[in-house]
Amino acid sequence: GENVEQHPSTLSVQEGDSAVIKCTYSDSASNYFPWYKQELGKRPQLIIDIRSNVGEKKDQRIAVTLNKTAKHFSLHITETQPEDSAVYFCAASVTGGGNKLTFGTGTQLKVEL
């Protein structure tokens, strides 16, 4: 089955700096890669996703890049703000293959003033 690794497990940045979180996946059939933000005790919220037919996607301060050959994808947050502090999870799935999500282990992001 799919295995998703995520690094780093914790990340501390100064407000205004950029943050990068990286994930690798094992199943070459995976073609959908969402990123979620989860605050303590809350549901995961989809912040951005990318499909395997594109290499990069951007939405305001958030961007995701995908390298299918290397089987890795990354989340980039620019101009970080304190409200960006949360746990971020990457995930991978196969469209039509049951659509099961395999999650990474999570990154605790702390944006310090």
Partner 1 sequence: GAVVSQHPSRVICKSGTSVKIECRSLDFQATTMFWYRQFPKKSLMLMATSNEGSKATYEQGVEKDKFLINHASLTLSTLTVTSAHPEDSSFYICSAISSLAGGNEQYFGPGTRLTVT
Phi, psi for 112 (deg, rounded to 5): -100, 145
* CA atoms of 89 and 6, how far apart (whole Å): 8
Contact status: 100 vs partner 1 (CB under 8 A): yes
Buried/exposed 9-20: b ≥16 CB within 10 Å, e otherwise: eebebeeeeebb
**Residue closer to partner 1 (CB basis): 10 or 18:** 10
Provide the minimum distance between the beta carbon of 16 and partner 1 in the complex, in angstroms, as a whole number.
27
Ranges within 23-42 binding partner 1 (CB under 8 A):
32, 34, 41-42
- Interface residues with partner 1 (CB under 8 A)? 32, 34, 41-46, 49, 89, 93, 95-96, 98-106
